[in-house]
Amino acid sequence: MPIIDRISERLAAVAAWLFFATGLMLGWEVVARYVFTAPTIWAEELSRLFLVWGTLAGAAALVRRREHIRITILTDLLPGRLRTGLEVLGLTAIAAFSLAIVVYGFEIAWDSFSRGRTTGSMFDIQLAWSQGAVPLGGLLLTLQALAEVLRTLRHGAPPPGQSGDPGTAA
């Protein structure tokens, strides 16, 4: 589990830099287009690629920190064991859904790679570059969700209203 946690956290840092770079690219695109009347052929497409990779690279860290979207208005009212059971059920659902993303995402990315599909734009990036983020991000999300299932079974669900690693809960 610690290795999955480290990979998730490091990729979340990479994701943050990808989002920062996206902001710079799109900022430059606005200046180039409206100030210099010379739009780029790369900024929009490359920023979309960075957003896809950043989103999928950072998702596992959000699950690890329990900062993913959760609706806890009812579960926070439940006793510890029942809350833990529902937390395990939710994390298992995340793992199952993510595994489906891995399987189907790989098929789509592989098909695009083997056929040499591109975006068809002026920059013409191979589609497999963006589509490859789906199975890789899904795999990490699956592994992190399963690690969180084990962690939750060992330490229980985080106290109501608390995000973060349940293994550090008092």
Backbone angle region of 108, left / alpha / beta, with phi > 0 → left and psi within -120 to 50 → alpha: alpha
For the entire predicted model, the pTM comes to 0.84
Q: Dump pLDDT digits (tens) for 64-120.
A: 998 888 777 787 777 889 989 999 999 999 999 999 999 999 999 999 999 999 988
Q: Dump pLDDT digits (tens) for 122-156.
A: 888 999 999 999 999 999 999 999 999 999 999 98
What residues does 118 pair with on adjacent strands?
126
